[in-house]
Amino acid sequence: MTTLQIVFVLLRRELTLAMRRRGDVLTVLFFFVIVASLFPLGVGPDPKLLRLMGGGVVWVAALLAAMLSLGRMFASDYADGTLEQLVLTPTSPVVWITGKILAHWLVSGVPLILMAPVLGVQFGLSNEALGVLVFSLLLGTPVLSLIGAIGAALTLGLRGGGVLVSLLVLPLYIPVLIFGAGAVDGAMSGLGSEAHLSLLGSILILAFMLTPWAVSAALRISIE
């Protein structure tokens, strides 16, 4: 089998398993909606204030929702022994790790992207700002999955791993949050969002190139 075929087979397996656990997917989405929707209730109905904070609030909610799903990225495969079998296969770990990260993003990141415009409307974001918000999430949420995979691999099998993985990855998420929210703020203020989006794209490329290798090393340490 070619590398693309292996990734496709693994991707199909992960999506099938995710559809059998739809509750986990819906939990992440509902958490994202609830967190973003509570801010207008807490700060008041001032339209100007809501527009100023809208992009940042949606991005913070997306970041927290992404962290909520990290603990399950490798846990089920580790529990039933599938992960050990994958590590022992002649296929490079980078191949199937890339497939698992992509599946995690499709299940946890894409729903957030699709829901973001609806949440942005309640903050009074302009059409341009909504477009930038969606595009920034399209660039940023894969980075959240890539970086989160490192934390999930390092804390695999540890008691309280969900809390530990959040503590590990949160500092690494901060640049993504700054550039993602900054892109929306730039679009709202008329200063432009190109610089922030370019930096997000650069981070995505760098993370995509380096993260699978780091996850492979972390998984071997956790399993041994």
Residue 38: CB atoms within 10 Å: 12
Global pTM exceeds 0.75: yes
Residue 1 confidence class, pLDDT cut points 50, 70, 90: low
Q: Above 90 in pLDDT, residue 178?
A: yes
Q: Above 90 in pLDDT, residue 204?
A: yes
Instruction: Read off the pLDDT of each residue in 206-215 and give the average, rounded to a whole number.
Output: 91
E-strand stretches of the chain: none
User: Which of 190 and 120 is assigned the larger pLDDT?
Assistant: 120
Tens-digit pLDDT profile for residues 183-202: 999 888 888 889 999 999 99
Instruction: Read off the pLDDT of each residue in 112-120 and give the average, rounded to a whole number.
Output: 91
CA distance 178 to 47: 23
Phi, psi of 24 (to 5 degrees): -65, -40
DSSP string, 18-43: HHHTHHHHHHHHHHHHHHHHHHHHHH
What's residue 177's pLDDT?
93
Tens-digit pLDDT profile for residues 18-64: 777 777 788 888 999 998 888 888 877 778 888 888 889 999 999 99
